[in-house]
Amino acid sequence: MPMKIIAGTAHPELARNIAEYLQVPLCDAEITTFPDGETFVRINENVRGRDAFIIQPTCPPTNKNLMELLITVDALRRASAARITAVIPFYGYARQDRKDQPRVPITAKLVANLLDAAGVNRVLTMDLHAGQIQGFFDIPVDHLYAAPVLIGYVQDRGLGDLTVVSPDVGGLKMSDAYAKALDAPLAIVGKRRISATKVEAINVIGEVEGRDVLLIDDMTETAGTLCAAADLLKEHGAKRIFAGVSHGVLGEIGQQRLKDSVIEELITTDSTPMAKGPKVTTLSIAGLLGEGIRRIHNDESVTSLFDIVTKGG
């Protein structure tokens, strides 16, 4: 069955780059907002019996982008698309993945239920905040990693005497994978969260004195964790400090903090359109996602993509 690539309005540039990689034209779709804020979607091509892929990260404005994705899925389902895959490079609400306080929701699970109910047959995503979110879905989830793209760039950068650092305990597993791939020692920063935008770094475990440092995290928004960790690493004698994150969801606070910080360069991907600003290097994942889409379409293995070191595109 032929493939159709539909671009949501969250990140049209990434959708165009993926379509270019696949050498498939973007599907003609009209997505508009009424004066009262309601979203309207119309697919202007025949999609009956087609294999449809919607490119839509649910980054800020999260609720608008999520609702648009659900409405587009419904439009495709009612137009008799054979299979609908939601390509969500950045999965919003992923940090609300458990009940860590009384009377709070597990919104990551709710979003999974909404996608399923809307008619999504499969999800393609990248670097979920918590890998177990895959289990929130009752449909297949292909979970890609930005590591091959970021590691390829760092290797080309030729950083010597490098230590990979996790900015908190939660990111230790991810940082360990980078350390092994880069053949570098691992260190960890202990942190205490004061508020949603403020973090205090309290201790360093591992050797960083006189060494270049690469901080690894799955995402940054206000850059509080990264900047607090970088300050502490500098106090412990680190030379140059770099940071690598899969998702740069950077607002004004995050961009300003990075600009004023001791971090020399933030290496991230274009999983969201907000991955930009001073000191930010944005790597394309169009090739990675495009290859994932091609393999899903052809019923081929997606797992082997984890081993490919590529800059994408």
Residue 305: the pLDDT is 78
Residue 201: the pLDDT is 63
From residue 251, give the alpha-carbon distance in Å to each of 254, 262, 275: 5, 19, 9
306/149 Cα distance (integer angstroms): 10
Residue 168: the pLDDT is 84
CB 282 within 8 A of CB 271: no
Catalytic (active-site) positions = 191
Residue 309: the pLDDT is 39
Residue 170: the pLDDT is 81
- The fold for domain 147-283 equals Rossmann fold (3.40.50)
Q: Which of 1, 303, 7 is nearest to 142 (CA)?
A: 303
**pLDDT tens digits along 3-58:** 999 999 999 999 999 999 999 999 999 999 999 999 999 999 999 999 999 999 99
Residue 313: the pLDDT is 34
**pLDDT band at residue 196 using 50, 70 and 90 as cut-offs:** low
Q: Is the peptide bond before 61 cis (omega within 30 degrees of 0)?
A: yes
**pLDDT band at residue 157 using 50, 70 and 90 as cut-offs:** confident
Q: What is the dihedral of CA 201, 241, 287, 274, to 10 degrees?
A: 60
- Percent of the chain residues past pLDDT 70, beyond the cut: 94
308/149 Cα distance (integer angstroms): 8
Mean pLDDT for 252-279 is 96
Residue 83: the pLDDT is 98
Overall CATH class of domain 3-145+286-306 = alpha beta
**pLDDT band at residue 294 using 50, 70 and 90 as cut-offs:** very high
**pLDDT tens digits along 231-252:** 999 999 999 999 999 999 999 9
Residue 312: the pLDDT is 34
Helix axes 147-157, 172-182, angle to 10 degrees: 50
Mean pLDDT for 157-169 is 88
Mean pLDDT for 286-301 is 96
Residue 18: the pLDDT is 98
Q: Which of 260, 258, 204 is nearest to 233 (CA)?
A: 204
- Percent of the chain residues past pLDDT 90, beyond the cut: 84
- Output phi, psi for 159, to 5 deg: -75, 125
Phi-psi region of 140 (alpha: psi -120 to 50; beta: other; left: phi over 0): beta
- The structure tokens listed for 303 are 């797992």
Where do the DSSP E strands lie in the chain? 3-7, 29-33, 39-43, 51-55, 83-88, 122-126, 141-144, 162-166, 186-193, 199-205, 212-220, 241-248, 263-269, 280-283
CATH 3.40.50.2020 residue spans of the chain: 3-145+286-306, 147-283
- Output phi, psi for 16, to 5 deg: -65, -40
**pLDDT tens digits along 296-313:** 999 999 987 766 433 333
Q: What is the mean pLDDT of the chain?
A: 93
Residue 198: the pLDDT is 65
**pLDDT tens digits along 125-139:** 999 998 899 999 999
Mean pLDDT for 291-297 is 97
